[in-house]
Chains A and B, each alone.
Chain A
Amino acid sequence: MKKSIQEINEKIRTGKAVVLTAEELSSMGKDHTPAEVVRKVDVVTTATFGPMCSSGMFINTGHANPPIRMEKATLNGVPVFTGIAAVDLYIGATENHPEDPAYGGAHIIEELIAGKDVELEAHAKGTDCYPLKDIKTSINRENINEMLMFNPRNAYQNYPVAVNTSNRIKYTYMGSLLPRLGNANYSTSGELSPLLNDPDMRTIGMGTRIFLGGTSGYISWHGTQFKSDAEVNEHGVPVSNAATLAVIGDASRMSPEFIKAAYYEKYGVSMFVGIGIPIPVLDEDMALRVMIRNEQISTRILDYGDPDHPELGRTNYRELMSGEIELHKKKIKTASLSSIFQARKIADILKKQVEEGSFLLTEPLEVFPRGKSLNSLDIR
């Protein structure tokens, strides 16, 4: 049996679409064949809520009178990028306050989304058309023109587990890693994760409408550091970090519940981004993909105690989510950096929206590149 996205959208419009979250579908998959799944289910909602450093937000502050062409600017003391037009600014999520490493761009973004006032200070050399040289004022969601979230790399398709075999604690973007394999941290929502439910990206592509930070947004391109030639396991999912998404959305309609500033000790600021993607069950192949279960998704365990991050072993998300894995004959406590609790909440919201007919599916305008590998930076 085959269904088109148009047919599924017609069902959504008339309130007849059957929608399940990826977790619900994974457990249904235990006693259903792909043929049965494609007959019974139209849409599967996937989600993730993890720290995603490659995130940020463009804002346009509106022009002052007299106008200024901002060349150096800060928001609550956090530097923002001004190398575009006069009052367009880009707030990079990981930019930090020069005196407070635990406060940065992500906090500014969260505060603006929450409707709070943020202090803007900017300086310029002054030009004939933009004579003002200095400005100090406050901005908020209501008094600026746009808040456009644009994240160059989100929603990693799988990610390795981080451990530390060295003799001292390592503070990393994978959290605090205790010495001598004291703990293991991972960061994926497993069977709920968008790109693990459509590993070949048949339905997720450029222009796909998604849930982003509490409102609807779009996939604008493949993400940076996109890799589609990664090793896959016997269930067809990459065993390491592979595909990524660049996403875009109207942050003035987002909610601070789904965009959260984070600080990782001695690493820096990052931002939790809530993303949900509905996947149409078009045929048996798609059904088989969305039936994937945590135990079928494997990932590598890397040693962050060694600068080369060598692989120490492999595990799967069922083991990781049990709270304990075994490595080198040692039981190691595991923790997720990405919140499964929040991801479930997003998958449930999206499920309701599709059921109610308020969230229609999109066909990718363009599919993502196949066989794309990564370059590394040679020091010449």
Chain B
Amino acid sequence: MAATKKRMVLSFPADSVNEPITYILIKEYDVMINILNADISHGREGKLLIEISGQKESVNGAMDYLKGKKVEISPVVKTILFNQSACIHCGACSSLCFPGALSIDQDSRELRFFPDKCVACELCIKACPLRLFELNFGVN
């Protein structure tokens, strides 16, 4: 069995399910859940950016469970948008980026962005003095 990892946005309807969804996902489906971002207000539609990983079958089972609960699943393509061409390579974002998605190249001193490592923590959005990062809570 192959392990898999998926990053997705879960959209909960306003009359959200009353079940503790993450608990059930972990307990019943044996998947690892990493909540990267949450935007939930009571009485309104909520969104959760998660990374879900585990054996392929477990992850598929978890997805079926979510669909059954009318949770809309949208795979995430990009979470942070970076206007790289306007970057002046100061690097103010790089010391805050704990997953290492933003770093200054030791030789060229240019800022490098590795979207694969990004967990959309949003610290770079406020750290960039030129405001070049934007959160894309959207999907493909």
User: What residues make up the interface of A, taking CB atoms closer than 8 Å to B?
Assistant: 49-51, 102, 171, 175-176, 178, 182-185, 260-265, 270, 272, 321-323, 333-342, 344
Contacts and interface: CB of A to CB of B under 8 A. Distances in A.
B126 A260 contact: no
A322 B89 CA distance: 15
Given A262-B129, A322-B106, A183 B88 contact: no
B88 A176 contact: no
Interface residues of B, number: 24
B79 to A, nearest CB: 19
A102 B131 contact: yes
Given A176-B123, A322-B106, A339-B90, A51 B95 contact: no
Contacts of A183: 95-96
Contact of A265 (B95, B127, B130): B127
B106 A336 contact: no
B104 A336 contact: yes
B116 to A, nearest CB: 19
Interface of B: 88-98, 103-104, 106, 108-111, 123, 126-127, 129-131
Q: What DSSP secondary structure best describes chain B's contact surface?
A: loop
A49 B92 contact: no
A340 B98 CA distance: 22
B48 to A, nearest CB: 23
A175 B127 contact: yes
A344 B96 contact: no
A335 B96 contact: yes
B92 A335 contact: yes
Given A51-B129, A175-B127, A344 B109 contact: yes
A341 B130 CA distance: 16
Nearest to B111: A341
Contact of A337 (B92, B103, B123, B131): B92
Contacts of B104: 323, 335-336, 340
Nearest to A182: B96
Given A260-B130, A263-B131, A264-B129, A178 B96 contact: yes
